[in-house]
Amino acid sequence: MSLKKYNLLPLILVLLFILSACGSNQSSETSSDAIPQRVLALGPNCAELLVALGLEDVIIGTSLRNHSRGPLPEFETAFAQIPEINHGSATREAVISSGADFIYGIDWEFGEGGLNIDELAGYGITVYVNSAATLEEQYQEILDIGEIFGIPERAEQYVEDQKARIETIQNQIDTETAPRVLVYDSGNDGVFTASGINFESLLISAAGGVNLFDDLTDRAWVTVSYEEAIARDPDVILIHDYDSPSVEAKIAEIKANDVLAQLECVQNNRFAVIELESVLPGNRMAYTVERLFEAFYLSER
């Protein structure tokens, strides 16, 4: 069983107690509002959110740093002290042997081919899945984490700061000139890109852009043909920056593609870059909206 952002706080705390007690033989006298002490943050976005809330001391391991360009500068010192349990996706063996009592992890890490939440509960590990699909859902996740770890006021302040920064950007947007944005994660048999239900699409919109494939809603990540991408004529290509290949390699790949090379934005070097973890649901919402707004409106077009 996992703790989801849709739960009411009393249910969250009750579940937290029940799942912990089941796997660790705690007595019935244990407090139902026990705060997790040994936490796995599975996913760079989850780890950075916990650090941003001042919870780095309880994190005993992270995963998926291969999908990261590293933490924001203000969090580098804290991150340097946090070990990896796996550089890529977390393995069952590493998680079970970690001694964790709580996991805050991105949804990629669970389900078919990933970790089994019910099994983890049997080992006394409570799971809260990071799976926000809207800004409001991610705000609620932050508030839930604040309640679970006994820092509700800190979490509330963080959410209010995020909202204020995003509102400041949105007050500057000229919707009549909103750029059409092609998200380029990778290319092989087509462009692997973000759909309209992807959290990144919300961030692009909040920054005054329009996701070129926002009408696709079957799944969050999709592959579209090069021909379909050129037919929609993007104004800018937003490239994801993470472990490999490099941004420079991706730009070279785009320019070498006979179809994509025909795009005016490619010929005019209209590329924007964002770290992959910055477009995942987490703590970087305002940061990403600010970065994208600058790329869409303040850079040379």
Residue 299 pLDDT grade (very low, low, confident, very high; cuts 50, 70, 90): confident
Residue 136 has pLDDT above 80, yes or no: yes
Q: Are residues 86 and 207 in the same domain?
A: no
| Structural domain boundaries, residue 232 | 175-298
Give the pLDDT of residue 29: 30
Write out pLDDT tens, residues 60-100. 999 999 988 999 999 999 999 999 999 999 999 999 999 99
CATH number, position 260: 3.40.50.1980
Within this chain, do residues 50 and 155 fall inside the same structural domain, yes or no?
Answer: yes
Percent of the chain with pLDDT strictly greater than 70: 89
What's the domain count of the chain? Answer: 2
Last residue of a domain, one of 139, 166, 193: 166
151 and 180 part of one domain: no
Q: What pLDDT is recorded for position 188?
A: 84
Kindly state whether residues 149 and 269 are assigned to the same domain.
Answer: no
Q: What is the pLDDT of residue 2?
A: 54
247-273 pLDDT tens trace:
999 999 999 999 999 999 999 999 999
Query: Within this chain, do residues 286 and 138 fall inside the same structural domain, yes or no?
Result: no
Average pLDDT of the chain? 89
For 28-68, the pLDDT digits (tens) are 232 347 999 999 999 999 999 999 999 999 999 999 999 88
Show which of 114, 137, 166 is a domain's final residue: 166
Mean pLDDT score, 272-295: 96
Answer yes or no: do 120 and 212 share one domain: no
CB 27 within 8 A of CB 152: no
pLDDT of amino acid 15:
44
159 and 190 co-located in one domain: no
pTM: 0.86
Of 124, 139, 166, the residue at which a domain comes to its end is 166
Do residues 115 and 183 share a domain? no
Q: What is the pLDDT of residue 71?
A: 94
Among 26-40, 95-109, 204-218, the range scoring the smallest mean pLDDT is 26-40
Q: 125 with 27, same domain?
A: yes
30 shares its domain with 159: yes
Please check whether residues 104 and 249 belong to one and the same domain: no
Whether 26 shows a pLDDT value over 90: the answer reads: no
What's the pLDDT score for residue 3? Answer: 57
CB-side neighbour CA atoms (13 Å) of 213: 29
Per-residue pLDDT at 176: 77
pLDDT at residue number 289: 97
Residues 252 and 144 in one domain: no
pLDDT the model gives residue 76? 95
